[in-house]
Amino acid sequence: MHSVMITGGAGFIGQNLVHAWRVARPTDRLIVVDAMTYAANVRSLEPLIADRSILFVKGDINDAALMRSLFEEYKFTRVAHLAAESHVDRSIADPEAFLQTNVFGTFTLLRTALDAWRSTGTLDRARFLHVSTDEVYGSLGSADPAFSESSPYRPNSPYAASKAASDHMVRAFVATYDMPALITNCSNNYGPYQHPEKLIPLMLVHALDGKSLPVYGDGSNIRDWLHVSDHCDALLTVIERGRTGETYNIGGRKERTNRDVVELICDTLDRTFAAEPALASRFPGCPAAAGASCRSLITYVTDRPGHDHRYAIDASKLARETGQRCSVDFTAGLGRTIRWYLDNEAWWREVTSGAYKAWIDKNYGLRIAV
């Protein structure tokens, strides 16, 4: 049994990891820490909190005193560090918040864990997993080989730069202090509980309400899509079977242009509404409710600054060293994701109210249709 801290556990990937960890390793003690910023939501964790399957702590990883007290009380032997500001557009508008959480927060957590494990003599059996992104590698051309663990860092947004800095800090702790840490760099995630500022849920909830589907530029930017369940399985594998001090790339090997993804969402909704007439009364604003195509909502808007053209992940090291391979087909995974949002309208209605709406209006309201 391990005592486990999962930071950012009320975020999209975090809460999926909490559920996956609870199922895969039921004897581990899980303490979930989250600052509960705009993108966090504990609704899916409430049953686990109620039956004491997990302990939830509202707290900021920059709070060194809190982090020390948690390590002292719970004697963590595993840390899965997912707490991060993660939206590129928000990093352009407010880069300082990304430095505070992603850089200084990671440093605070690393120092606290190192001090705790040294003082208790548990450094040799502890593990610190730092969850990062493929965006640290920059942008690929259409014919370039996929990012590998040896690809140079070339971040192009404040978000990517802050994650690159945190990766380097983890590497430095490994080299300087023998920190038992590992790093994972993943491609674009999708699945249940994703905040509707990200591409797939944004397009989906907008289509259901009959709102414009704003696609940056000409929609030709390419992303490698990874279902969150595949990602969580890989994280569970890496923290136990990966080599400390190493980096492992995690990707779905499902490259699609943004335009293709948005069109697939539209086409899936069109077919679903045709097959399930009752959806029309629930979502009367959706074009598919009247037998039209959701593609009519697609609007191309001016591109965001520094928009990377293509991401692709070479995950062969992960497969070779751990046997872990991602298995969710993108079309099937997207279909399951769409079904989840259709069945969980109350969740995203709550998330998309208030501050979220103000953010969408600010970010897209001044962009010009092209």
Domains of the chain: which residue ranges?
Answer: 3-193+226-256+306-330
Is 311 marked active-site? no
- Give the separation between CA 189 and CA 87, rounded to whole angstroms: 12
Question: Quick one: average pLDDT of 277-298?
Answer: 98
Per-residue model confidence as pLDDT tens digits over 291-301? 999 999 999 99
Catalytic residue among 137, 159, 216, 248: 159
Per-residue model confidence as pLDDT tens digits over 202-252? 999 999 999 999 999 999 999 999 999 999 999 999 999 999 999 999 999
Per-residue model confidence as pLDDT tens digits over 100-155? 999 999 999 999 999 999 999 999 999 999 999 999 999 999 999 999 999 999 99
Is 134 marked active-site? yes
- Give the separation between CA 6 and CA 8, rounded to whole angstroms: 7
Is 159 marked active-site? yes
Per-residue model confidence as pLDDT tens digits over 31-41? 999 998 888 88
Q: Beta strands 181-186 and 255-257: pairing type?
A: unpaired
pLDDT bin (cut points 50, 70, 90) of residue 370 is: very low
Question: Quick one: average pLDDT of 74-90?
Answer: 94
Is there a contact between 244 and 271 (Cβ–Cβ < 8 Å)?
no
20-42 burial, b if ≥16 CB within 10 A, otherwise e? bbeeebeeebbbbbbbeeebbbb
Q: Beta strands 222-227 and 255-257: pairing type?
A: antiparallel
Per-residue model confidence as pLDDT tens digits over 307-347? 999 999 999 999 999 999 999 999 999 999 999 999 999 99
At residue 360, does pLDDT exceed 80?
A: no
Q: Beta strands 3-7 and 29-34: pairing type?
A: parallel
| Phi–psi pair at 3, nearest 5 degrees | -95, 120
Q: What does the pLDDT read at residue 364?
A: 55
Domain 3-193+226-256+306-330 falls in which CATH fold? Rossmann fold (3.40.50)
pLDDT bin (cut points 50, 70, 90) of residue 369 is: very low
Percent of the chain residues topping a pLDDT of 70: 97
Kindly tell me the burial class for residue 68, based on how many C-beta atoms sit within 10 Å of its own C-beta (0-12, 13-18, 19 or more): middle
Q: What does the pLDDT read at residue 43?
A: 85
Question: What mean pLDDT, rounded, does the chain reach?
Answer: 94
Catalytic residue among 134, 149, 167, 197: 134
At residue 367, does pLDDT exceed 80?
A: no
Strands (E), 235-364: 247-250, 255-257, 298-301
Is there a contact between 245 and 182 (Cβ–Cβ < 8 Å)?
yes
Q: What does the pLDDT read at residue 356?
A: 59
Q: What does the pLDDT read at residue 111?
A: 98
Long-range contacts at 62-68 (CB < 8 A, ≥ 24 apart): 62/100, 62/101, 62/104, 62/105, 62/108, 63/108, 64/108, 64/111, 64/112, 67/108, 67/109, 67/112, 68/112, 68/115, 68/116
Q: What does the pLDDT read at residue 42?
A: 86
Catalytic residue among 34, 60, 85, 135: 135
Cα–Cα distances in angstroms (integers) from residue 321 to residues 193, 240, 285, 317, 333, in the given order: 30, 12, 49, 6, 26
What is the phi-psi region of residue 138: left when phi exceeds 0, alpha when psi lies from -120 to 50, beta otherwise?
Answer: left
Q: What does the pLDDT read at residue 359?
A: 65
